[in-house]
């Protein structure tokens, strides 16, 4: 029992890691970024995988609610089909048991047929095993791909609204290198060596090396009350002003 529990925990951890890695890579690739520049730690991938799995479960439940009118009749139809098949098999068994059913009276012929059936079963087992393995491995990959792509499209639609949206204004930042404004927008991903920002001026995600850069909260997203301080904040943010602000 303990061994089975340990195996389940291990498989669950591997599944979450796999989901997190796939969704992270697809998210960045959908935003036209090089996923290789933004590797994540094992802990981050597992956490990302957990939220990916929960998000897909929510989508699945919503889909079940939407298609309930179709699912219930389908279940009833399968139930009736299984019942009819079982009744037909039992009827054939009863009918054949009343007769001497010997289509293969020759022993050699029976052995030949048995050998052919064994070979057929072994030959069919190989593709069936491959299909079963594919059926087990494909859903996690599909979940990760769908989750990463949907998250990228959702975030892109939100970021295109710019930094003035009240719901996300606090997340707007400015990436600077000295006095030069490299980008103004929302952090997509970051590591110790690189950072990716969805630049609201260029309307796309851009990756930068972090060496020599500084990240600033958008001074215009939460302006101070003092007129002098307000003017100073506007002056600091002028270098990042432009289309899409």
At 14-45, the pLDDT tens digits run 888 888 899 999 999 999 999 889 988 888 88
Highest mean pLDDT among 5-9, 70-74, 187-191: 187-191
Q: What share of the chain has pLDDT > 70, as a percent?
A: 75
Whether 46 has a pLDDT exceeding 90, the answer reads no
Grade residue 49 by pLDDT with cuts at 50, 70 and 90: confident
Whether 13 has a pLDDT exceeding 60, the answer reads yes
Whether 225 has a pLDDT exceeding 50, the answer reads no
Residue 171: partners with Cβ closer than 8 Å, 6 or more residues away: 186, 187
In this prediction, residues 50-66 reach a mean pLDDT of: 78
Domain ranges of the chain: 2-157, 169-240
CATH architecture for segment(s) 169-240: Roll (2.30)
């Amino acid at each position: 029992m303990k061994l089975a529990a340990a195996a389940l925990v291990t498989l669950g951890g591997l599944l979450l890691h796999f989901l997190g890695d796939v969704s992270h890579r697809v998210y960045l690739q959908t935003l036209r970024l090089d996923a290789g520049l933004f590797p994540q730690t094992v802990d981050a991938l597992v956490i990302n995988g957990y939220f990916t799995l929960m998000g897909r479960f929510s989508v699945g439940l919503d889909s079940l609610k939407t298609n309930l009118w179709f699912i219930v009749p389908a279940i009833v139809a399968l139930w009736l089909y299984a019942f009819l098949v079982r009744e037909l098999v039992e009827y054939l068994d009863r009918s054949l048991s009343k007769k001497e059913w010997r289509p293969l009276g020759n022993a050699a012929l029976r052995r030949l047929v048995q050998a052919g059936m064994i070979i057929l079963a072994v030959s069919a087992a190989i593709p069936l095993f491959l299909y079963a393995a594919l059926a087990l491995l494909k859903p996690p990959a599909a979940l990760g791909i769908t989750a990463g792509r949907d998250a990228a499209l959702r975030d892109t639609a939100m970021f295109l609204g710019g930094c003035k949206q009240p719901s996300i204004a606090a997340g707007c930042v400015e990436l600077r290198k000295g006095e030069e404004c490299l980008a103004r927008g929302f952090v997509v991903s970051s590591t110790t060596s690189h950072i990716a920002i969805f630049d609201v001026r260029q309307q796309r995600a851009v990756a930068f090396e972090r060496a020599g850069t500084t990240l600033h909260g958008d001074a215009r997203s939460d302006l101070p009350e003092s007129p002098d301080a307000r003017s100073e904040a506007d002056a600091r943010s002028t270098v990042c002003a432009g289309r899409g602000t």
